[in-house]
Amino acid sequence: MTGELILDYILHYLSLTLQSDVLWDIAPMIVATIFEIAYFQMYDKEKPGWEDYYSTSLVLVFVSASLLRYIYNLDASGAYNFIHYQYKSLATVFILFLGFVLIKFNFEHLLPERYALYVSSPLTINLIAFVVILFVHSDRVFNGTGFFALLIIVAFLSLVLNSIKIPMHKLFIFLKKEKQKEEVASVKEIKFEIDEMRRKIVEKKNSLKFIKKKDVDKPKSLAKKIRKLIR
């Protein structure tokens, strides 16, 4: 097992992601994972709940159904492909079984939640599904080198997706602070406008008092009309 051979396998698996069949399967998972990470970095006080774990575990069932269809349509043999491509079939059945187990565990809250948080996290589920998708769609004979290459891909993606949490978290903190600054500035502006209105009201009241004082120097009929208008 040489470094060049491992790198060749890694590039082979990664090149599969550009194929339309694979891309249609992994694109929604990638987008969902990134959005999930972004959401919980933005609302860091919120924590996923059992309904999130339950819905995430359904991903394995949907992916396995898509992969079973792919294996069935690999050639004209149809259902015989599940025997001919037994390793691909076993890998697909494995994630299907895992998906149903997690669905049961999450539906009935069988696991302690601190474990379910990691076992049924989008990152864990989607990485498992991603690796099996690459394995099933690969046309190479599976061996130790291929397995090691998949492990490297999983470790690298896990590192990248966990690493982006840090800049995302900092970005959302910065945006929150900027929003708070805008709110403070808005409150100050409103307070200034209210103070200005109060000042003008005081000025108007003083003007009215001055007018009332001048009433004594005016004819009674005119003074009476002015008092009526002032009331």
How many alpha carbons fall within 13 Å on the CB side of residue 85?
A: 26
Q: What are phi and psi of 139, to 5 degrees?
A: -100, 10
- Report the first-to-last Cα separation within the chain, whole angstroms: 99
On the 0-12 / 13-18 / 19+ scale of CB atoms within 10 A, 174 is exposed
What is the model's pLDDT at position 231?
56
What is the model's pLDDT at position 68?
93
pLDDT in tens, the chain (231 residues): 577 888 888 899 988 888 878 888 888 888 888 888 888 777 777 777 888 888 888 999 999 999 999 999 988 888 888 988 899 999 999 999 999 999 999 988 888 888 888 888 888 898 999 999 999 999 888 888 888 999 999 899 888 888 887 887 788 787 777 777 777 878 878 888 887 888 888 777 777 666 655 554 555 555 555 555 555
> What does the domain layout of the chain look like in residue ranges?
3-163, 175-230
Residue 38 burial (CB count, 10 A): 16
Q: CA-to-CA distance for 134 and 12, rounded, in angstroms?
A: 9
What is the model's pLDDT at position 101?
94
What is the model's pLDDT at position 64?
93
Q: What are phi and psi of 16, to 5 degrees?
A: -65, -30
On the 0-12 / 13-18 / 19+ scale of CB atoms within 10 A, 142 is middle
Task: Check if the beta carbon of residue 54 is closer than 8 Å to that of residue 103.
Answer: yes
